[in-house]
Structure 1
């Protein structure tokens, strides 16, 4: 295990003070500047803000300098950074804020409406604005300038169990759950550095949002390695390929939906990707056709990562040498790879928890230092998340082959993964069910080349109800939930398939409308 994030940045700041740490648009902060600014933010939160160890700090911001400073400051000060999805509706943001009980909130000016919705339910939490604050709000740069740059000293060796990050993911009940992640969970480790080929000359593109484990985890790995991170605040495909060329990007992480967008650009073949050494990908299924096209277009190594927020994003990986579309082991492209040296994976009977033999399909379980200590204030869900002997139950179904490669066959839960984002059907169903014309509704995922899966709604209308179009129902849902959760496909049925006990058979719907 290597140094945790705070010690790694301290070392880079001392040994390579002028080396670039994070670039956002035309602004770059060095490792010395990042270290000092994180110290000031930590001191401002602890001293001026009066926050105690373990307090939650909400962050409503795009990836960039601010998010890097907050994560490092919290790790040093024993605080917990809680990145928020800026695409959530204001009631959804307020629900997360109430659950986390923010002691302070940091935001960028463009997200002030959402931040003020949080302040409305937590009026005692200071609101710090990177931009122009309103009355009773604090200016971020003024706050830092007035604070001491003395290092709080936390986050060093022996503090691996300290929680520093909390990411929210919806549960099967539709209620947001805070996944707690420790310094040890986020430890990059020497083997990860070797697998990804990180070094101090690497230039990393971080194109994933900070509220996603892929974005936060990728940032931590780059900073620990001493690489230069180029943040992408807004993912515009044309701009992404321009940055790869201009900034000579060597490493990046994309979800399959982004790979689809990039490889579909009309001028993609004329771009210079000679600096690219590795593209990591994951968070949703990828089709063999898209993977082959991506390998051909970018001409670099590819590494698949399988995991979830509860495993700090990592359980298995498919190494670049296993990406051989035309070789004798081409079948491995359908797998999620095998385990890292410090990770255990097994397939168990979902009912009994007993391990299953090679080739048998069951629930994928994992055990490692990457696994979360549990959800924030969710004892009942934590009891379901872990087995008695400490294995995390992923809710995914799959099997292990004779070489230890993991093949994912389905999801035990009904979660839909679209564009790398988790969408739980119950949330979408609840929104659509509010429409006066809707009698019954079931939401599920159907294959989509661009997004991985499309959120699909099967709707039964009330007898005698006024005519309603798919577009109207989609717009209706968008008013109540985040845009990425809204259905992309609406199907009208006379009735929904059910078993004898009345449970909707979503498996039947997925099979019936796989080509929708």
Structure 2
């Protein structure tokens, strides 16, 4: 299998007229993307950024970001992801704290005085990248940068985990991890290695934000397979459906929140007739939701499991697995990918027998060490006799109420069963007497009448034990979500605090 860096280099054999990136309804040719990538590469080389240099990119879903990835990864440099959806102060603080040698950002970001001044004071060289223009904004005209390379296990990407349940942390992903992830995906799907002219064949649809591992991985895989890329500036049902229909896609990604939106919009079945499957896995995927989607459209849902730390997915379903096992293994996240091993352990690290819930551990070449070391996750899980994996909760999400453990997803599922509730999130609130108590926040189905809190509590009592029933249930117009469409816990707490202060 061709390596990622080598595969990016093969793009130069493509025709300049070949369609490369569709953004909105506009196609950018390989010639346009190539010219911009070469300009970025030349500027980075001019200021001393050779192989191993760390380049920060304000990574929006746009053609310029893909050209930046080609210029950075194609020459063995390291990309430091910066999230454009954060407020300017957070983007600025992130850029300064990560201390890349160079920062690439849209002109609109550089127009924020706070950002430009901070980058300049930190001694970081900065470029504005818009269209085919690359303009230096900070740093001297002749800058020499000292590069310290890690010859043992060089890093390709430094990016944040989602941080939906606590402060996010920056994770280094090495070239070895990304190569292993690509090999693992191809082994799982049976694809890869086909002989095509570069930038021909079926397009790759990137609907998640590419500052998130799901979106970024979609771009990297497409570049490695030399496929044209359709990138949505942000997920919308219309945009996703139009892309699927226009390009007659056979497989497309659809996170659970987006899947629910597609169902609620009552998208005509013929619009999705080309799809043979959808993949889902940025967060928990309810088997009820998967079954509802399959029943409506006749399209199986291939649930995947992974993490930023693994460079992508490490377990999941395939169409053959669904056909053979879904009825018996409904609720599972599938089987480990080829070359991946999973097990569960207790808090002392003792390996648990099959069928026993414990902390999930993963052994794979996609982990940080790439050895036979087991990496412990925050997920509670169990495996069955057929090596299917079931996620039972998260250790860092568990709410301990008076000595009793409450799994938020269990409470969420009870609330989602109400006909007026579209989605729910549950978290633990400190309580002087009980330690923690569960608090729920719900989003109603579009057009549904408000639901009384007492009615909801009575409803879930038929499904939950007494200590699992939330002490308070708040209703919001829409649950706040991160770039991966997971519920953003920090923003959720801010919304609840505002609701509670208003009531007082």
Q: Is the TM value for this pair above 0.5? A: yes
Partner of 1:164, secondary structure, is: strand
CA deviation after TM superposition for structure 1 residue 201, in Å: 1.5
CA deviation after TM superposition for structure 1 residue 297, in Å: 4.0
* 1:51–1:302 Cα change, 3 Å: same
CA deviation after TM superposition for structure 1 residue 180, in Å: 0.7
362-371 or 293-302, which moves further after superposition? 293-302
Partner of 1:59, secondary structure, is: strand
The residue aligned with 1:401 is: 384
Cα separation, 1, equivalents of 2:499 and 2:13: 65
**2:100 aligns with one of 81, 99, 102:** 102
The residue aligned with 1:165 is: 157
Partner of 1:129, secondary structure, is: strand
The residue aligned with 2:342 is: 345
CA deviation after TM superposition for structure 1 residue 190, in Å: 5.0
The residue aligned with 1:392 is: 375
Cα separation, 1, equivalents of 2:34 and 2:250: 24
Please tell me whether the aligned partners of residues 23 and 62 of structure 2 are also in contact (alpha carbons under 8 angstroms): yes
2:452 aligned with 1:487: no
Cα separation, 2, equivalents of 1:279 and 1:170: 22
Post-superposition CA distance 1:331-371 (Å, at most 9, x none):
4230111111122222122x322322111111111122212
Partner of 2:330, secondary structure, is: helix
The residue aligned with 2:460 is: none
Post-superposition CA distance 1:17-36 (Å, at most 9, x none):
65433222244344565455
Partner of 2:84, secondary structure, is: coil
The residue aligned with 1:426 is: none
Cα separation, 2, equivalents of 1:75 and 1:492: 44
* 1:193–1:400 Cα change, 3 Å: same
Please tell me whether the aligned partners of residues 307 and 314 of structure 1 are also in contact (alpha carbons under 8 angstroms): yes
Q: Tell me the matched-pair count.
A: 416
The within-5 A match list for 1:146-225 is 161-169=153-161, 174-187=166-179, 189=182, 192-193=185-186, 195-196=188-189, 197=191, 201-225=201-225
* 1:206–1:119 Cα change, 3 Å: farther
* 1:353–1:95 Cα change, 3 Å: farther
CA deviation after TM superposition for structure 1 residue 285, in Å: 0.8
**2:61 aligns with one of 63, 80, 94:** 63
242-251 or 9-18, which moves further after superposition? 9-18
The within-5 A match list for 1:68-467 is 68-112=66-110, 116-117=114-115, 119-120=117-118, 123=121, 124-131=123-130, 140-141=133-134, 161-169=153-161, 174-187=166-179, 189=182, 192-193=185-186, 195-196=188-189, 197=191, 201-266=201-266, 268-324=267-323, 329-349=326-346, 351-373=347-369, 390-414=373-397, 447=412, 454=425, 456=427, 458=429
Question: Please, what is the CA RMSD of the aligned residues?
Answer: 4.0
274-283 or 231-240, which moves further after superposition? 274-283
355-364 or 160-169, which moves further after superposition? 160-169
Post-superposition CA distance 1:197-256 (Å, at most 9, x none):
566522221001111111111111122222221000122222221222123333322211
Cα separation, 2, equivalents of 1:373 and 1:209: 27
CA deviation after TM superposition for structure 1 residue 173, in Å: 10
Partner of 2:161, secondary structure, is: strand
Partner of 1:21, secondary structure, is: strand
Post-superposition CA distance 1:64-90 (Å, at most 9, x none):
322222222222233221222223233
Q: TM-score, normalised by structure 1?
A: 0.69
| Structure 1: 5+ residue stretches without partners | 133-138, 144-158, 375-387, 417-442, 462-468, 495-516
Post-superposition CA distance 1:424-452 (Å, at most 9, x none):
xxxxxxxxxxxxxxxxxxx9776275986
